Amino acid sequence: MTCWALNGWAAKRAAMILALLALAGGWPVHGQAQLGRQAGLLDPNVATEPQLAALPHLNASLIKTLMERRPFLSMTDLNGLLSQSLSKQQLAELYAKMFLHINLNTASEAEILLIPGMGPRMVREFKEYRPYRSLEQFRREMGKYVNEQEVARLEQYVFIPLKLNTASDADITSIPGLGSRMLREFKEYRPYRTIEQFRREMGKYVNEKEVSRLERYVTVN
């Protein structure tokens, strides 16, 4: 066998191994956003006042308070505010329309249970497959227990932190409220070596609260 043929065979074999690793969830699939595909679910940190006013059970006073206190850095914090005024049933109806995405790898059981229709069994399944490295892995594992439509519904509520140094443009702009200007700033300071560096550089363009909101969605490692 010629040297060229050997090199060609080796390249094909390497490509096959990489593809299998990606399918197995070992590595994130490049260019695949790590925020669950949305189907009209609003993010409370970036929703406009008219959008909030169209949601069930949010009166003018609650909307005013929500907008004054945001950004919320966890669903627990948001629920703590809203549960002072709304019943469990009202919260479930609201969270079917508005929710703050939870980190698949770190969300507490209490946070996961805030997803409408979520019970103890699915909480166990969510946690069993940690750490998640891609949403494709999440879809595959949850698909063992619920149908494709339910997997798509659950996906709206979750995210996996993006790797700051390798995330694609599509990955980065999947962060709610992030536009082309901040996309440029995210990429300008690569490679990031620490999360403190990210905070410092982004702090040149947005305030401390917004830096904290963006930080939820990213990781340096």
Question: What is the domain partition of the chain in residue ranges?
Answer: 38-100, 101-160, 162-219
Q: Residue 71, preceding bond cis, omega within 30 degrees?
A: yes
Residue 151 tokens read as 């997997």
Q: For the segment 113-129, what is each residue's pLDDT rounded down to a tens digit?
A: 999 999 999 999 999 99
Report whether pLDDT(25) > 80: no
Q: For the segment 73-86, what is each residue's pLDDT rounded down to a tens digit?
A: 999 999 999 999 99
- Which of 28-32, 92-96, 217-221 has the least mean pLDDT? 28-32
CA distance 39 to 156: 7
- Rounded to an integer, the average pLDDT of 92-101 is 97
Confidence band, pLDDT 50/70/90 cuts, at residue 16: very low
- Rounded to an integer, the average pLDDT of 96-111 is 97
Report whether pLDDT(104) > 90: yes
Q: For helices 88-95 and 75-82, what crossing angle results, to 10°?
A: 130
Residue type, 39: A
Confidence band, pLDDT 50/70/90 cuts, at residue 40: confident
pLDDT at 27: 39
- Rounded to an integer, the average pLDDT of 150-157 is 95
Domain 101-160, CATH 1.10.150 — does that match?
Answer: yes
* Nearby residues of 189 by Cβ (< 8 Å), 6 or more positions away: 197, 198, 201
pLDDT at 221: 83
